[in-house]
Amino acid sequence: MNFWEYLVNRHQQLLTDAYQHASAVFQCMVVATLLGVLIGVVSYRSEWAGNLATTTTATILTVPALALIGLLIPLVGLGVPPTVVALTLYGLLPVVRNAIVGLRGVDPTLVDAATGIGMSRPARLLRVELPLAWPPILTGIRVSTQMLMGIAAIAAYASGPGLGNVIFRGLASLGSANALNQVLAGTLGIIVLALLFDAAYVLIGRLTIPRGIRA
């Protein structure tokens, strides 16, 4: 059958795989964002701590995805757990780096003014520094999400959820009638999801970033 016939006949399964793929990436990005911003908040005031945080998360990103998932299988088993751990770890670097850059880029006079009107350090962080650092943090989230969309496909190696299963089935049956259709459907599905997520981030940026500080 041709590609369009394949899509029509398998659309239910493809939609299920796409939903699982998007759900895994979204949930891991929520965790990676929370951890990444927390690491940025803890380390941005110190040059040494900031460099350590950036270097550590960058080192994690250099580990091949297939190798990391393979190493996690004996520790957490197959399926969702290794997928969640791997994607969360891979999603940290852009968020951590951009959180540190954004927080360090806040105008010190604004922080001093907040101090002058009696704001505590946590209040300054939550009401002044983090809102002003939000644009670069959001950029880091966008970059991480695009990376994780592709990396999540490899999770099928560990029986993880998502469109990677479609791609792996196609690669495992090269030469069969639907092998190319499966690889193409999985790949295009990931690209579409990545574009949809990015469009959502653009909308979030327009809703949450004041016009005056947009890049």
pLDDT at 193 over 90: yes
List own/partner pairs for 159-162 with CB under 8 A and 24 or more apart: 159/78, 159/79, 160/24, 160/69, 160/79, 160/80, 160/82, 160/83, 161/17, 161/20, 161/21, 161/23, 161/24, 161/79, 161/80, 161/83, 162/17, 162/18, 162/20, 162/21, 162/24, 162/83
Q: Return the CATH number at 20.
A: 1.10.3720.10
Dist. CA 68–CA 70, nearest whole Å: 5
Range of the domain at 199: 3-213
| Total number of domains in the chain | 1
Dist. CA 8–CA 38, nearest whole Å: 45
pLDDT of the residue at 49: 95
Q: Taking the chain, what is the end-to-end CA distance rounded to the nearest angstrom?
A: 48
Cα dist from 149 to 9, 18, 187, whole Å: 25, 11, 10
pLDDT of the residue at 148: 95
pLDDT in tens, 149-179: 999 998 887 777 889 999 988 888 877 878 8
> pTM to 2 decimals?
0.90
- Average confidence (pLDDT) over 8-18: 91
